[in-house]
Structure 1
Amino acid sequence: MTQVDPTRDQFDAFKALDRDEPCEMLNLVRLRDRASYPEGHDLHAAGLTGAEAYTRYGAQSAPVLRRVGGAILWRGDYRTVLIGPQDERWDHVFVARYPSAHAFMAMVKDPDYAIAVVHRQAAVLTSRLIRCAPAATGEVFG
């Protein structure tokens, strides 16, 4: 089953959490081989790869991310699954930080983001977007 956008229940659960705390979003993204733009979109028949469409998403969403005070905190190159489903692989793995959940909500409601997210929807085969709150770091697990 592919997962590109949140369900209503998932979005409601996100909104029910403290909106004032800093919000860090773990992103795991697997791209389509070929982008799948909706019929009627200018790029529907352009033949872009998922990677090309995701690059467009990144370029168009970056100003909105900056405008709400967000940034990419960490990015890594996927290598392999050690624990988990062996059929999961990820093309993009990163953590985006927002000063608050309010800032994240402002981004997804921004009209410029609404234009950019069409590229993400066309590019992504499946994804995971996991909300976290910053916690203390150190030398122990847990």
Structure 2
Amino acid sequence: MSALNVCPQPLQKVLAETPKDQPVVMLDLKRFADDKRRSRYPERTAPPSVQTDIQKAADCVKTVGAEVVWWGSGCEALIAPPDDPSDQVVLVRYPSIAAYMAMIEQPAL
């Protein structure tokens, strides 16, 4: 699994605006299929190698006290461009923004 690529400017804004003592829920939109693969697997399930990586990521967030709240198949977005659907959606609840920072600063899985 490749390392997380967090954009510095938006991250700085989130860090400045997020209360330090409150839980944070992050939305992760995953896309691991091109249109050709998607036509073969319309249910948008991750291939086994990606499923393994997602499980490693779920284990990783536990190390900072976070939990996966919801993990499921994506669908066409209601208020986004229709040509960029997500294959899976993950919601992760972190106990604080500091816990989120600790998770993204971990070495790549």
Whether TM-score is above 0.5 comes out as yes
Structure-1 separation of matches of 2:52 and 2:72: 20
Segments of 5+ residues of structure 2 without an aligned counterpart are 35-45
1:91 pairs with one of 87, 90, 100: 87
Q: Which residue of 1 aligns with 2:8?
A: 8
Structure-2 separation of matches of 1:70 and 1:91: 23
Structure 1's 18 and 53: CA in aligned 2 closer, same or farther, altered over 3 A? farther
Structure 1's 107 and 19: CA in aligned 2 closer, same or farther, altered over 3 A? same
Segments of 5+ residues of structure 1 without an aligned counterpart are 34-49, 117-142
Encode CA deviations 1:108-137: one digit per residue, 9 max, x unaligned.
122xxx231xxxxxxxxxxxxxxxxxxxxx
Encode CA deviations 1:46-82: one digit per residue, 9 max, x unaligned.
xxxx845533432333332112111111223223233
Structure-1 separation of matches of 2:24 and 2:5: 18
Q: Which residue of 2 aligns with 1:115?
A: 108
Secondary structure of residue in 1 paired with 2:59 = helix
Identity %: 29
Shift of residue 32, structure 1, vs aligned partner: 4.6
Structure-2 separation of matches of 1:89 and 1:62: 22
Amino acid at match of 1:28: L
Number of residue pairs aligned between Structure 1 and Structure 2: 94
Query: Would the aligned equivalents of 2:26 and 2:93 in 1 still touch at CA under 8 Å?
Result: yes
Structure exhibiting the larger radius of gyration computed from Cα positions:
1
TM-score by length of 1: 0.56
Shift of residue 99, structure 1, vs aligned partner: 0.8
Structure-2 separation of matches of 1:63 and 1:76: 17
